[in-house]
Structure 1
């Protein structure tokens, strides 16, 4: 598919200009966001994470809401943009009202991680690239100093992250400190003879200062924040509802969703048992997993072999699906599969640069320390989740749709329930299309589904303080019950499960967005089929729904069904 001719492109409107101005000002205030979104021009800087910096972001939201209120939508595209942007800005203001912006600390998605993680996306091919890295490294002390000020400000106001998350933060800081820490190791990679001594000196000096900044952050967390931190993990139903809406773009019936999550766990467990019978007749799910883990046909040795398998599997999916089951524009048929420099565990996706050439969409595997043996039966479905038809198709084709969508819709709008829900829905699609017909691969898909369903139960149950399931004794949730429930429904290594449970406890509302989002996508497809009758075409449904971009689930439903 070629790029649409200029005369086929939609003419920008006043609403487009409001949204795109917000994007540009947001990128300037948050250079980390800009790098992750692929927006050029900000890679040398880091955000102001101080109370003043967070106040500037809040003022931008207020100004944008006022501009939207004064601007008239001229077509359906404008109406979607205005509804999606308004929903995002109002939700972020709600989060600020409960100090979720200034007290942000957990084991996976907080300034502690993203100030470091952003360097993974920075190119290192030229002298200018290394000079840009040196400039950003030099900004780390001020960024973390501002972060400390915001955490302290929130603590004075009575909002402190739980003890569990503060202790994890101290541990994670250690990975960035000293001669063997991330920053010094990064600077040491500038070995090309063309890199002048002046740039090497800047890199070495800034890298050491960045490591020292993380050392100071660890001391603050340990010596000042930890003594004030509460032991209690649940945030309570009222605060949880705010977090949940932010990740979904809709308001849940939390009690109904909690019951549905438990029913999903039971349904998936029964399907896993039936699939295990196909692998080891008469055996249990545990027997089937042990059989597959011992099978050379389903194993990979070392990260190099893992990377090659990821790339091959992803490339084969693109070739098989393009022009047959999905519209995949030619410029996004490339996805790069990489082993991440971090060692925290998990697989994730980062989108392409805005121009679709500077940086491709990438699938990253963060391999934990000491792990060098991998089972393809577990992970084939994950490659589809992160690649095609999952996140890469969803994100990169949205970046590509410049003729249809403004820059904010293409680069700045991301709602977890939409994005993660689509990726989980994509896994199920691949099973429906026959790509997971091997019982081993099908069991792997179900195993992942089991974890995602268990997340719904754990996250909502713990934070909203609902009664625990009978299988763990009922009554009030505690860490032991949560651990036993997760262990019963997640067939992964203990270290991964510990990380996952800590994630749910410290990042309320995000983990359920996968399964809840998948539920939404399935219902939306059913509703679209019912509305279209015999004229329904699933390929056209996918194209049309994805062309909306990543918006809140309420906005997506209204856009697809024409009820906005």
Structure 2
């Protein structure tokens, strides 16, 4: 969560966009979700205590949420920590099941079932704790640490700066645990694909490149540059700034550099043991592990063959829709010819100039503004938090995706931000920008995440929960829903919407192909090149992501399809009593839920509407 997806768009140089203005005056009260019965209160008190206990063991989460400090430590996720969490989880599940489910209100029953599901999944997946690739080219402590410090560790006073330095001093322990976890996995026969190792090493070396790690370096390393920038903005004496930077520099030289060098040695040692690049089928008990990952990311008991067949069917259907869109555009040629067109033709790209960047931002803002003005037609509940558009800052252009969404603050005072990385304009295309704006901004991720954070009456853990199939499924659903309300007036944008959905349908084929049908990397790339419109270079990146994150890519399309099915079910059962605003409120005002629980929630809404006079 959220939703850092393949591409995100938006941006602007505006402190307050027209989007934000459009939301003014159309913010009804968020639904009060709970009841205050003694049984509900007892459950909510228990859930809140569990949440606070979790926060006490996750200093990084406290920082991300902007809670009071100190912010000077790291989670040390070694075996002892994992075993402690397992014990706590078992105790919490036992305590939860002492509550009488039948005594709870409908909202509290959802809280109970959600928390029970989280705890049970944690217990069930403990057996796979050494299968998940502690480090890969996609994630790991070596990159998570600098990303976290640069992106989340705010420095607004000298205490924050001292906490930053303390975290620099604590990095070595985190990196050493990551290396040990890699070695433990290797002993169990679990190694990332061979292609992943070179990128792991490159990313780790980048962290310790530049000053103060290299004598005579003309540029500061990412962490030193970040510390200097943040301390430099403080209104404290120059001598105090100098001392803080000196302390940070010492920590980088004496602790961070040796730890990263030890980490690199471990990576080199393990790389020599891995010659293959296979899906998880090649791991010990790989088939069972993949089945568990499917359940984790979809919440459903679907087998891989069923998902693969669904992906092929959806791909064929969307190719048919695309042919209709191509006809409206007057395009002559095959679907594959059209793929080549959107991959290469300059007319579907924004110019790589300042004017082109401004045009991109203005176009994205217009798409969001147009949707914002019509939200009351589709939603009864709207978020207090605004969404603004911004370009990715220069200091992190080379280290972030082409676009991404960052959530608003829980109280709605800090807006959600739809970032566009305009460093490489060759990847910022016109045809899929409207769908992207709906997916990431309105009414996609921003609506879902902001409403969950703001809604009253939910236990805290539900405000910050994330479920792949629900969250990404909602964002995909909104792309399609926008078509129902007359958006995508430009034929090229309609083609882009289909291409966006086609990309996610293809994931069903590719993920199961790699991890169940034993496709090679080359097979997967060839299928993606032939059947989706993604840029060729992006396809390699996507395929490599699927190799090291099994099951995650399935959530998007499966979640979308489930929400669409539930909407059609509600329409069929309710007839004239169906209300799209009520349906959307039912989906959004319960926070992120699993697909089975979402089905229960929607059925409850249907039953309530049926009973209404």
CA RMSD, Structure 1 to Structure 2 (Å): 3.1
Cα distance change, pair 221–91 in 1 and its aligned pair in 2 (3 A) = same
| Distance of 2:526 and 2:118 partners within structure 1 | 36
Equivalent residue, structure 1, for 2:294: 244
Equivalent residue, structure 1, for 2:580: 538
Equivalent residue, structure 1, for 2:264: 218
Would you say the 8 A contact 2:280–2:515 is kept in 1? yes
- Specify the SS of the correspondent of 1:331: coil
Q: Is the aligned partner of 1:449 residue 2:501?
A: yes
Would you say the 8 A contact 1:300–1:374 is kept in 2? no
Q: Is the aligned partner of 1:92 residue 2:126?
A: no
Q: Is the aligned partner of 1:290 residue 2:347?
A: no
TM superposition score normalised by structure 2: 0.81
> Which consecutive unaligned segments of at least 5 residues does structure 2 have?
1-26, 211-219, 282-286, 608-613
The within-5 A match list for 1:509-520 is: 509-520=551-562
Equivalent residue, structure 2, for 1:398: 452
Q: Write out per-residue CA displacement over residues 25-79 of structure 1, whole angstroms, 9 at most, x where no aligned residue.
A: 2222233344445655464332112222222322232222122112233111121
Q: Is the aligned partner of 1:352 residue 2:437?
A: no
Would you say the 8 A contact 2:58–2:74 is kept in 1? yes
Give how far 1:259 is off: 0.5
Q: Which moved more, 1:153-162 or 1:248-257?
A: 153-162
Q: Which moved more, 1:251-260 or 1:147-156?
A: 147-156
Equivalent residue, structure 1, for 2:328: 278
The within-5 A match list for 1:353-368 is: 353-357=409-413, 359-365=414-420
Q: Is the aligned partner of 1:308 residue 2:361?
A: yes
Equivalent residue, structure 2, for 1:432: 484
Equivalent residue, structure 1, for 2:284: none
Q: Is the aligned partner of 1:157 residue 2:191?
A: no
Would you say the 8 A contact 1:311–1:337 is kept in 2? no
**Equivalent of 1:53 in 77, 81, 85:** 81
Give how far 1:239 is off: 1.0
- Specify the SS of the correspondent of 1:337: strand
Q: Which moved more, 1:436-445 or 1:56-65?
A: 56-65
| Distance of 2:528 and 2:371 partners within structure 1 | 34
| Distance of 1:435 and 1:6 partners within structure 2 | 32
Q: Which moved more, 1:11-20 or 1:415-424?
A: 11-20
Q: Write out per-residue CA displacement over residues 214-257 of structure 1, whole angstroms, 9 at most, x where no aligned residue.
A: 3432222122x223346252223311111111112222133222
Equivalent residue, structure 1, for 2:229: 189
Q: Is the aligned partner of 1:68 residue 2:115?
A: no
Cα distance change, pair 210–222 in 1 and its aligned pair in 2 (3 A) = same
Equivalent residue, structure 1, for 2:431: 377
* Length, aligned pairs only: 549
Would you say the 8 A contact 1:454–1:489 is kept in 2? yes
Cα distance change, pair 2–107 in 1 and its aligned pair in 2 (3 A) = same
Q: Write out per-residue CA displacement over residues 170-204 of structure 1, whole angstroms, 9 at most, x where no aligned residue.
A: 22223322215422332232333625223222343
Would you say the 8 A contact 1:299–1:374 is kept in 2? no
Give how far 1:100 is off: 4.4
Give how far 1:456 is off: 0.6
Equivalent residue, structure 2, for 1:25: 53
Would you say the 8 A contact 1:351–1:362 is kept in 2? yes
Task: Tell me which structure has the larger Cα radius of gyration.
Answer: 2
- Specify the SS of the correspondent of 1:362: strand
Cα distance change, pair 275–48 in 1 and its aligned pair in 2 (3 A) = same
Would you say the 8 A contact 2:435–2:493 is kept in 1? yes
Give how far 1:95 is off: 2.4
Equivalent residue, structure 1, for 2:307: 257
Cα distance change, pair 134–363 in 1 and its aligned pair in 2 (3 A) = farther
Q: Which moved more, 1:509-518 or 1:133-142?
A: 133-142
Cα distance change, pair 301–100 in 1 and its aligned pair in 2 (3 A) = farther
TM superposition score normalised by structure 1: 0.88
Give how far 1:452 is off: 0.9
Equivalent residue, structure 2, for 1:499: 541
Q: Return the structure number with greater relative CO, CA threshold 8 A, min gap 6.
A: 2
**Equivalent of 1:331 in 363, 384, 392:** 384
